[in-house]
Amino acid sequence: MDKKYLIQKSNLHSFYSEEIPPNGRIFTLKIKDLNNGYPKGIIHNLFFLDPYTFLGFDDAILKINQMMDVLNNPQSFTKLRTFFDKEYKHTKKFYDKWLSEGKEKNNYTQYWDPKSLKPNKKDIIVFYINVIYRRNSSWQGEVIWKGHKKVPFRSVLELLNLIRSAILNDKYSADLKEQY
């Protein structure tokens, strides 16, 4: 696994997942550019010091999943599978070491104010993804985008379809429909 895709150790914080408030499960996905229908942007979570950049929906999904693994919230009901056992053992060893480092309860830091995650003029479209569960090797939750109500999703694939349909129908990207 390429190290640039791993969440840096400096972004790991001391807390237990049951102590993270419900807004810790919300990820803000800001699409800054759609180059030939390939989204580029940033991902925010209230409990990470810096936003993470992504290039493509696949990269965004993998990074959000890694962020949830670090937060251990929501907890995954299935273990990570890869083609290479060595890669999994390294990830699990790193994660187990991090969990056993004598964390103090109620010692988490919220770095972002929810108001600071609002869309700005440079954003093509912004999604608020609330992942409630990670079951059956997928996510279940709700997604919201500007001017729309909450829409539940039952899997990551359904979430991707909702995001794609929003981009295709959004007033800011009407001229980008041809790129898909």
DSSP secondary structure string for all residues of the chain: --GGGSPPGGG-----GGGS-GGGGEEEEEEEEEETTEEEEEEE-TT-SS-EEEESHHHHHHHHHHHHHHHT-SPBSS----S-HHHHHHHHHHHHHHHTS-PPTT-----S-GGGGS--TT-SEEEEEEEEEB-TTS-EEEEEETT---EEESSHHHHHHHHHHHHHH-GGGGGGGGG-
For the entire predicted model, the pTM comes to 0.72
* The pLDDT value given to residue 29: 94
* The pLDDT value given to residue 8: 43
Distance in angstroms (rounded) separating the CA atoms of residues 30 and 103: 32
* The pLDDT value given to residue 71: 83
* The pLDDT value given to residue 105: 45
Q: If the chain, 180 residues long, is cut into consecutive pieces of 10 residues, what is the mean pLDDT of each piece?
A: 41 46 86 88 90 94 91 78 60 60 54 72 89 91 87 96 86 50
